[in-house]
Structure 1
Amino acid sequence: MKAVVDGTTIAEAQQDDLAYIEGNWYFPRSSLVSEFFIESPTAYTCPWKGAAQYFDVKIGDKVVKDGAWSYSDLRPGAVERVGKDFAGFVAFDRSVTVAE
């Protein structure tokens, strides 16, 4: 699977290595091209996953504000609910194309 913005791959991993949660593919942090991600100050806390860290995705002059997010410190029960430890995995906004 790949996550792509304007033809540039920003993450790539085997589907078996991803987690599918609430309609979003979550990629392992190691699969990201880190140079495209900038931490965002946007705050959000999911009632069952915990506090999210948002990232702006920057490719050249294009910035996708809050285009990605991650949950590093999962709340109790989150792993059991998903069936996989997804701590630190990164999901993407709909403006990022995720496909095989």
Structure 2
Amino acid sequence: MIRVTIGGHLLAESDETKVVEGNHYFPATSVRMSLLTHSDTSSVCPWKGTAAYYDGVVDGNRIKDIAWYYPNVITERAKPIEGYVAFYKASMCAFISSDSCLTSNPEQGDHRRH
């Protein structure tokens, strides 16, 4: 099971994520969209297309560009993640059967820099 938490709040949880370039993409149905709001940020990947971003809003605090998704991918290779949501790595913890965080590496930073 992969979970994304921020400030003690669960943003996403799924055992059906898709991993692309080291990022877990969550089905939109497994994401608490009430804790996200659309950002003005976008970026372009040559094989995925244009990514749209979400800010996180938790306890009245806005966390800029915490998540992104590709609403309309441009290649068949990217089709499996179309509409799926990925999160900034520093906010993600991977859980297996226990509730202790197994992975979280803030030094990995923003995915756009990789």
**Any idea what SS the aligned residue of 1:72 has?**
coil
User: What TM-score do you get using the length of structure 1 for normalisation?
Assistant: 0.87
- Per the TM alignment, residue 61 of structure 1 is displaced from its structure 2 partner at its CA by 2.2
Partner of 2:33: 34
Alignment partner of 1:64 is 2:63: yes
Partner of 2:4: 3
Counterpart Cα distance in 2 of 1:40 and 1:46: 18
Q: Which has the higher contact order (CA 8 A, sep 6+)?
A: 1
| SS, match of residue 80 in structure 2 | coil
* Gaps in structure 1 of 5+ consecutive residues: none
Residue 94 of structure 1, CA deviation: 2.4
The Cα offsets for residues 34-68 of structure 1, whole Å up to 9 and x where unpaired, read as: 11010001121111100111000110122210000
Indicate the percent of aligned positions where both proteins have the same amino acid: 33
Alignment-mate amino acid for residue 7 of structure 1: G
Q: Point out where structure 2 has 5 or more consecutive residues left out of the alignment.
A: 96-114
- Between the aligned partners of 1:25 and 1:62, the Cα distance in structure 2 is 24
Q: CA RMSD in A?
A: 1.3
Shift of residue 75, structure 1, vs aligned partner: 1.0
Between structures 1 and 2, the one with greater helix share: 2
Q: Name segments (4+ residues, structure 1) moved above 6 Å.
A: none
Equivalent residue, structure 1, for 2:93: 98
TM-score (norm 2): 0.77
